[in-house]
Structure 1
Amino acid sequence: AAAVLAQFARRQIDVLVGTQMVAKGHDFPGVTLVGVLDADGPLHLPDFRAAERCIQLLSQVSGRAGRGDVPGRVLVQAFKPDAVALDYDAFAAEELRRRERLRFPPFVRLAAVRLSGNSEVRVRGAAERAASAARRFASGGDALDVLGPAPAPLAKVRGKHRWQLLLRAPDHAPLHRVGRALQAFHRVAGVQLAVDVDPVALL
């Protein structure tokens, strides 16, 4: 890959086709046209940050064009062009309204409780027991919601079945308290439980 990028920088290659890796950290002054295929693909990921990541990627890849003296153009292909945000300020305002309405960060705090193991039956059972326990632990007056459990969007990784539940609260304190209680409560052989406060991704 490094050799190809070096050739492209020396203009020995006129067209560069790549994945997201070409969007970040490269400065090619001779690039005047960037094309993005399936630009709305990331919007279909089951993660509340999907739209945010989509516009970040589009902003980054668009910045590859026109870095020299010649103005650049960006062509975007999408199945639903109206769903692809290109105006960051307008997107941010609408996205913040949506997250406030649905109670997602930055207006609340989240913790993902992930369970994984070789046996799908044992993982599912452990996830259901963990969700019930979390609701009991939160019944002492904490303003904490328990969402799930459900199979993780990536339901199997490296041979391990994965389930998860989300804890949602106005601040971190209930998340840490209930998370610690769940780790102490969990005693299912062959099933790992991990608590991720402020998860970067929910896949």
Structure 2
Amino acid sequence: MNKQQFAYKLLRARILDGTYGPGYRIVIDQIAREIETSAIPIREALRQLESDGLIQFKPYSGAIVTPINENEYLETLSVLAVIEGYATAISGQHFPLDRIPDLKEINQSMKQALEELDFVSFGKHNRLFHGLTYEYCENKYLVENIRSTWKRLDSIRRAGSAFMPVRAKESVLEHDEIIRLLEQRAAPEKIEAFVREHKLNTVKSFYHQRH
């Protein structure tokens, strides 16, 4: 891994885990000193992060972490609710029962993260959970679109920032119901409706936190 790649991965991780929050100013010389390199690899890494939508260059300020666009976030999450609901419904018809314990284990890790108020870990396990629920979706184009939409979310807000304690607690309980629906091979329309509403509940929660 060269210096530019290392800098990119380091900065991206810090942005997504919330170490560098929205609006945070990144000082090139400071990062260069930290990883013992010249400013050039850092600038190249920042340009790559800019193309990812994670960094903006502002006059007189330089590189800053892209502020959260609330409308864009809510719109993107609403789309995710629709396509993840459909993908999970398709996946549910082929979901191996021997993967149910894996879902339960991930959800248990989310409960543990909630107890520790570790919302970064909570967010990561949430993504793992949903990734597994639609892993057996046979529509590969749909799954590609879900991953693309998740990437768009990453460019809008840091991991875990949508979850507050009340919503996080509700979310893991809703996950228990998703597990039950998959385990019982519920009707596709029932799975789709529940997963869609589960995601939209996060949209509603995020909106109410700010209004």
TM-score surpassing 0.5? no
Larger radius of gyration: 1
TM-score with structure 1 setting the length:
0.27
Query: Which one has the bigger helix percentage?
Result: 2
Structure with larger RCO (C-alpha < 8 A, sep 6+): 2
Query: Which one has the bigger strand percentage?
Result: 1
